């Protein structure tokens, strides 16, 4: 690690201490602590944290399987006072795929639902197969990265414990999409340092799930020259497709996002997540509440 001033060194991200769940019975899990909001002003807990913990619960219920896809719905705002209680139903368990239905409850009210598919066939090292599509993945990134971490993590770290860091490009190469970089925890950076701890394989998938909800819609709208910005926007539903198990969470991922449709106070976005060696590991489709009218 390069020279980093002491006030920029943050407490480590201990994934197990923040996100772990305990099993109550065969169909019930509970978070060990409440999840957190992006900031005090935001209505509810950051959606990526909820999706990530749901992925963890699904994997705990299906040992030996890793995520294949998740189709999730944000039903109500989640507060920071109470851990989530997860109810899980075993829909099917086969040799290659398993399916789990999940509901997250807070104070006996359903706040989140998900249908999660898991598989044993997302690793080339296990299946012996290579990229069957032979596609040439092209990341329309940009030039000159600058590090952004919200509003300066050291001063608001306690209020925004998302452990998510963002780097933006000063120039974009594609007119229809917007590219930026994200990572979960940070190191070898001249401005910030936060180590990852207890990153067992299951927390690798939790971590990349956390990143998927960091949509960057404001940056995209500005890049496209959209003049009418939303008065309010938030995730409605969130679908994630996991293409690969063979990745390391401790790196910068490139996030490329574009609008598919905007209207009736909603926006549909599609995004792709790439590793530092340009391997596409995740695809994301999300509908967002995108309120430009006078009221909800």
Range in 150-154, 192-196, 204-208 with the lowest mean pLDDT: 150-154
User: 118: part of which helix (H) or strand (E)?
Assistant: strand 109-119
**What is the pLDDT, as a whole number, of residue 7?**
52
Closest by CA to 197, choosing from 230, 163, 165, 149, is 163
Give the pLDDT band of residue 124 (cuts 50, 70, 90).
low
Give the pLDDT band of residue 219 (cuts 50, 70, 90).
confident
Range in 68-72, 111-115, 230-234, 236-240 with the lowest mean pLDDT: 230-234
| Main-chain phi, psi angles of 224, to 5 degrees | -85, -5
Average pLDDT over residues 132-148: 51
**What is the pLDDT, as a whole number, of residue 36?**
87
Task: Give the pair of three-digit tokens for residue 243.
Answer: 């293409």
pLDDT > 90: percent of the chain: 53
Q: Count how many residues are written for the chain.
A: 296
pLDDT, tens only, 237-275: 999 999 989 899 999 899 999 999 998 999 999 999 999
**Number of neighbouring beta carbons within 10 Å of residue 130:** 8
Look at residue 290 and tell me whether its pLDDT is greater than 60: yes
Rounded distance between C-alpha atoms, residue 33 and residue 81, angstroms:
9
Helix (H, G, I), strand (E, B) or coil at 161: coil
Give the pLDDT band of residue 149 (cuts 50, 70, 90).
very low
Give the pLDDT band of residue 172 (cuts 50, 70, 90).
confident
Give this prediction's pTM: 0.88
CATH assignment of 6-122+138-291? Answer: 2.40.160.210
């Amino acid at each position: 690690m390069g020279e980093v001033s002491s006030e920029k060194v943050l407490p480590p991200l201990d994934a197990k201490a923040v996100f772990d769940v305990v099993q109550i019975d065969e169909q019930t899990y509970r978070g060990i602590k409440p999840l957190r909001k992006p900031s005090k002003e935001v209505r509810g807990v950051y959606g990526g944290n909820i999706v990530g913990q749901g992925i963890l619960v699904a994997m705990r219920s299906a040992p030996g399987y890793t995520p294949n896809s998740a189709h999730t719905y944000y039903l109500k705002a989640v507060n920071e006072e109470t851990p989530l209680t997860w109810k899980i139903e075993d829909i099917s368990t086969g040799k290659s795929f398993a399916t789990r239905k999940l509901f997250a409850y807070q104070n006996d009210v359903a706040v989140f639902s998900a249908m999660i598919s898991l598989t044993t066939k997302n690793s080339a090292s296990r299946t012996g197969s290579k990229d069957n599509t032979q596609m040439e993945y092209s990341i329309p990134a940009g030039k000159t990265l600058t590090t952004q971490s919200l509003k300066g993590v050291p001063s608001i770290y306690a209020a925004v414990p998302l452990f998510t860091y963002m780097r933006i490009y000063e120039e974009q190469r594609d007119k229809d999409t917007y590219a930026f970089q994200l990572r979960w925890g940070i190191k070898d950076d001249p401005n910030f340092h936060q180590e990852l701890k207890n990153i067992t394989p299951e927390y690798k998938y939790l971590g990349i799930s956390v990143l998927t909800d960091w949509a960057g819609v404001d940056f995209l709208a500005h890049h496209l020259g959209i003049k009418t910005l939303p008065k309010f926007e938030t995730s409605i539903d969130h679908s994630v497709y996991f293409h690969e198990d063979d990745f390391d969470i401790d790196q910068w991922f490139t996030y490329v996002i574009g609008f598919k449709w905007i209207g009736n106070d909603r926006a549909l976005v599609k995004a792709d997540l790439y590793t530092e060696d340009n391997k596409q590991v995740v695809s994301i489709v999300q509908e967002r509440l995108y309120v430009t009218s006078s009221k909800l």
